[in-house]
Amino acid sequence: MKMLKQVQQMQDRMAKVQAELESETVEASAGGGAVRVIATGAQKVVSVV
């Protein structure tokens, strides 16, 4: 039973971290700034400029 409780706690922590990542954004550029991509921490592209 202890292991099941630990697994549940880990799943709870993972859900919290995933929610936090979704609120973060990352910006990267290439070609001397000719292309710029903004994405969330959940790897969803928000914009390509």
Topology annotation, domain 2-48: Ybab; Chain: A; (3.30.1310)
Whole-structure pTM value: 0.62
Give the model confidence (pLDDT) of 9-29 as tens digits. 999 999 999 999 889 999 999
pLDDT at 42 over 90: no
Query: How far is 49 from 39, CA to CA, in rounded Å?
Result: 12
Q: Which amino acid is at 44?
A: K
